[in-house]
Chains A and B, each alone.
Chain A
Amino acid sequence: MEELYSRRYISYPDGFWDILEERRRTSDLSHALRTFNPQPYKGAPPCSSSELNRAVLESQFLRHVVKEVSAESGEPVEVVRDEASGLLEEMSQNLQLTFIRLLGFSLSKVFKRLFQKILINEEGLNRLQQAIPEHPVILMPNHRSYIDFLVLSYIMFTYDLPIPVIAAGIPLMSMKLIGEIFRRSGAFFIRRAIGDDKLYWALLSEYVRTIVRIGFAPVEFFVEGLRSRTLKSLPPKLGMMHMVLEPFLKGEVYDISLVPISISYDRVLEESLLAHELLGVPKPKETTRGLLKARKILEDDYGSMHVCFGEPLSVRGLAKGTVNRWQYNLVPRDLPAKPSEETLGFVSGVAHLVVRLQEKGMVLSPWSLIATVLLQNPLGMDLDALIQRTCWLRELVEGFGAVLHWTGQVPACEVVLSSLSRHHSVVRCEKGRVTLVEEAGASPATPEEGVFRRAAAVLMCASYRNQALHVFVRPALVATAITSPTVTDEDIFAHFQFLQDVFSNEFIFIPGTSHQDFEEGCSSLRKCGAVQVCDQQIRVTEEGKDTIFFLTAVLEPFIQTYQMVFRHLTNEPDQPFTERQYITGVRSSTLKRILSGDVQSFEALSSDVQKNVLSGLVRMGGVTKLKKGVRSEFRVDKTTIGRIADKLAGKMPPHLTIQSRL
């Protein structure tokens, strides 16, 4: 690490360093072949990947589950054990330094072509370096691109830090060669939709726990579960989170450090794929050929990416006063046990907290602001107006505490113009007017096709707005609550809570912290002068009207989509449907409404939001989920949906608990 200080990095005012800078000056080969001697976790005995696998298979936990599975299925124990061994073979990583070096070499080449800069916060990296020998470390990045984990392992290698083992989805494995390279670079593969395959769960959890317990290597996993197609944070998945926390809860390690990592891109490699996936064009299967085809990607400019390593969170600190570890005293630690409600609550709280911290560590690209402004002006706008509005927005988000990748000295018009040219696939600037680019090709054959083309452009733009959404969401919800026509002063907080509840699959809130969220929203609004608070009342100021309008407009597409789905469901005939039927139904009815001008927002076509509405309704009781064989079906409760829709439209004061807050 001494090297770190002696290197001549260009320092950025916000404490970020460009790691590609040195790669452009010195040999990639010697970088790849340099001595790599990271300091491991102090408690870790040296252990090979095969020893790790053996420890997992021979653990008391696994032996127990194998016996149970054998008893339930009637298969002999040996058969089940062999099956387990095969599954583990499929799952396990095979970290090898040679491959890391190979990868290091090729990534140096690739990254230099793709990115102008890869910026990392040195301070965060220092903290990580100090944390690694102390306790087992869990790296928890957000997931926006396939290359997220490549970049992270590359950074770890460059900084002489232990290469993490990474939880990856099984589709990656099926790519010839690449799958094997990933495996040897430390990836382990998890099947999607494990369901209640007991043996698989047991293997996976014991595998993860063993790695954490013995401190084999830092574990890296995406708490959001999937790559976010919308570039918006996803509600965290709790299974893996529970697995990595368990060794602490059961006292097998003194503490565990969780390191939230925020990766932000000026431009995401997969951007055009994203929109198509959301519109229901199925995503191409991940194949090696597909990746090679992606070579043309290499010709394009993707600007900079930021990797921000957050402050390591002590699990011990988080658990203090929250989880009573006595509960583990009465059952042998090596036997499977259902986690208590208290534990599940803790796991969920931690997972949400990490997502929140990932959001806070994001470095916003000016392009995200431009996209936000453009979406509110769907017919396009003059360049001058765009520059002006973007500057106004810059001030607002900086006031809200966001970090922007916008160096002070560079003139605003230059920043905006370079963003526009980088995103030529989404926007174009002609004769001083900026408009969204629709897919080239023959003019649309049908009006429907025209709508889809338009929607693709809007959704791409929306993805980049989504990168900044977490900055707006709290003040925007407050703004929506205050401007809701029927909401009285006493009800503002209740309505805020109601909105949080409706949108809790859309935006990430830490459970049980609505008060803090509300306070945060209010104080943001107060600081930017949009509201005044006196005598427990919130009043929009004259000069704040514009801000309030802007913020409510940010949420508008979501509200419109939700209302649109509510209407669709209440109008449909009363019979159960599958998720697929639901999506098709909603899509066609949305299309109709857009064509008729009934719905303005093209975002309503996004299958992501549509799915979120469904989960939201299930949670709020508007839809009941029925298990029917392997597939689930849904049944609608029209009265409840109607009530939610009315509340959302502000037709009826929400009669949640009325509290006189502010």
Chain B
Amino acid sequence: FSCSSSGVKPAVATGLVGTVQQQDIMKWNGWGYADSKFFFNKKGQGEFTGKRYRLSGLILPSLKDWFEGTFGANLQHKSPPSLNTSAVAPPSLNEAFVEELKSTGIPFSHDTEDRVFRAHGHCLHEIFSLRDGRVGRCPDMVVWPNCHNDVVKIVELACKHSVCLIPYGGGTSVSSALECPPEETRSIVSLDTSQMNRILWIDEKNLTAHVEAGIIGQDLERLLNESGYCTGHEPDSMEFSSLGGWVATRASGMKKNIYGNIEDLVVHIKMVTPRGVIEKSCQGPRMSTGPDIHHFILGSEGTLGVVTEVTLKIRPIPEYQKYGSVVFPNFQQGVACLREVAKQRCAPASIRLMDNEQFQFGHALKPQVSSIFTSFLDGLKKFYITKFKGFDPHHLCVATLLFEGDREKVLQHEKLVYDIAAKFGGLAAGEDNGQRGYMLTFVIAYLRDLGMEYYVIGESFETSVPWDRWVLDLCRNVKERIVRECKEKGVQFPPLSTCRVTQTYDAGACVYFYFAFNYRGLSDPVHVYEQVEHAAREEILANGGSLSHHHGVGKLRKEWMQETISSVGLGMLKSVKDYLDPNNIFGNRNLL
């Protein structure tokens, strides 16, 4: 056992320092960066602001028609947010805890804005309330530990003074995991890990990196890139989500086919619990030492302690990257192709299949074309696919692909996949379509904010499901259930109910649903939304889908845990919780 070899690099400092900065460049009541958002300009054309994304600064001529056509929304009907943060209850502080905390020198705050910022994730109801100026129970204060030892001190003090701790990483939760339990009577302290954002060492011989858990995905990737490495872990939230959060929710990255999901990537985890620090004594690549204790930590959703440091596998940056896309005549054929690709175990770094509705939505976000030539080419392509090949534009669907590796292998791999696709009637549809598909992933969350300006609310949710017919049947049944539930609940316009297959496995796939509707005429739109999402989840479960593939359970899906893992299974988890945290210091009440 030796990790102090010459391959270890000195610690690297991150670019993003300080509590105020991150908060300042982010929206307080919507998704992502404050400078990036969709809006309709005076001519009614869609635009995306800022400079951060490929779409930034571009005009999107088809967005309005799609938006109005899909939701029955009207640009005349605006529902702007009411900005009102004064409704927040004053903090209830545990004086003894605050006093002792002061003596440690760890920074903290009970400023209202700091507290509100950490009182929510990004569930629809959370954002909707914020836009309405309504704020529920907030953390009473925020602390910013700087390193593992700071966390140890904070947890000790919390135990000593009976304070409730809620770990906070990137704040991108979509499972109500960050919501403060309203029934909590103790002082609630939000433990913000954002200052623990250093790469402590890189081991080039074993290809591992030891990283503090507060680091944000994109910073981790950028810093590793500077040394010629990457983790390859790219969840859709990677711009904002943190390493500790990934561990705590069992995150999944877009390129898991090459790099694996978070559980495949971690080699070592250090977590601070009320009972003490838990970690393994070596970094062996696999062990037979009883049940893997990492699996109590992975997915524990902040109920057991704070993940402070993680050793991750790293890889050299791939030499070559290539996007691609395939058009299929219909969703069935597309799924059949993905199944075959999985069967032959030749999935590219990423392979995703959008249904027809999402394909149409992708078109709505096409920027204005600059030359007559490009628009002519587009027309020609469309003609070829719909008229010459006979694809019905209302049924065709698109798979987007991402290949990585050395150039020659990528090209070989590409050919293999396109050959399989051809057997299922797939036509190669170009790199650009593929790349745009992945870009959409990052901007789609911004689109919800635009919708909310015009009476449209929505959200995404996910599941994993075995192959055979479950993938197809589940998609159809869930989409149909959503449409019918909306109608029953008095939604006046047909909702957008669409899905895509985002990951493939040997024995199944991960399916992602987007669901949005125009809520004009409804007195309690969020309640309607929640009822429909609840029904959709029941449908998923009845069709053999899982409770969650990577979003986690939080408080949103807790009610199904017992049926999901059996009451004995739940008892096992509870006994672990009872041993590690008998006084429920980590009292966010997720999961169990």
Contact = CB atoms under 8 A, between A and B. Distances in A.
Interface of A: 43, 251-254, 324-326, 328-329, 332-334
Most chain A C-beta atoms within 10 Å of own C-beta, residue among B476, B480, B542, B544: B542
Interface string B457-494: 00000000000111001101100110000000000000
Contacts of A324: 542
B468 A333 contact: yes
B391 to A, nearest CB: 16
Contact of B541 (A253, A254, A326): A326
27 contacts: A43-B476, A251-B470, A251-B473, A251-B474, A251-B477, A251-B542, A251-B543, A251-B544, A252-B469, A252-B473, A254-B476, A254-B477, A254-B480, A254-B481, A324-B542, A325-B542, A325-B543, A326-B541, A326-B542, A326-B563, A328-B544, A329-B544, A332-B468, A333-B468, A333-B469, A333-B470, A334-B468
B468 to A, nearest CB: 7
Contacts of B542: 251, 324-326
Contacts of B470: 251, 333
Contacts of A253: 473
A328 B541 CA distance: 11
Contacts, number: 28
Interface string B531-550: 00000000001111000000
A312 to B, nearest CB: 15
Contacts of B543: 251, 325
The list of the 6 closest CB pairs from A to B, nearest first, reads A325-B542, A251-B543, A329-B544, A254-B480, A251-B473, A254-B477
Nearest to B546: A329
Contacts of A332: 468
A384 B474 CA distance: 67
A326 B468 CA distance: 17
Contacts of B477: 251, 254
Most chain B C-beta atoms within 10 Å of own C-beta, residue among A253, A326, A332, A334: A326
A325 B481 CA distance: 15
Contacts of B476: 43, 254
Interface residues on B, range: 10 to 19
Contacts of A328: 544
Nearest to B481: A254
Contacts of A254: 476-477, 480-481
Contacts of A326: 541-542, 563
A588 to B, nearest CB: 57
Nearest to B477: A254
Contacts of B474: 251
Contacts of B544: 251, 328-329
Nearest to B330: A45
A334 B468 CA distance: 9
A251 B544 CA distance: 9
Contacts of B468: 332-334
A91 to B, nearest CB: 24
Nearest to B542: A325
Nearest to A324: B542
A332 B467 CA distance: 10
A253 B542 CA distance: 12
B299 to A, nearest CB: 21
B196 to A, nearest CB: 41
A253 B481 CA distance: 12
Interface in B70-93: none
B354 to A, nearest CB: 20
Interface in B311-350: none
Interface string B214-249: 000000000000000000000000000000000000
A334 B466 CA distance: 13
Contacts of B563: 326
A259 to B, nearest CB: 19
B110 to A, nearest CB: 46
Contacts of A252: 469, 473
A251 B480 CA distance: 12
A325 B545 CA distance: 11
B508 to A, nearest CB: 12
Nearest to B544: A329
A113 to B, nearest CB: 47
Contacts of B480: 254
B329 to A, nearest CB: 12
A329 B543 CA distance: 7
A318 to B, nearest CB: 14
A252 B474 CA distance: 8
Nearest to B479: A254
Most chain A C-beta atoms within 10 Å of own C-beta, residue among B468, B480, B544: B544
B467 to A, nearest CB: 10
B562 to A, nearest CB: 12
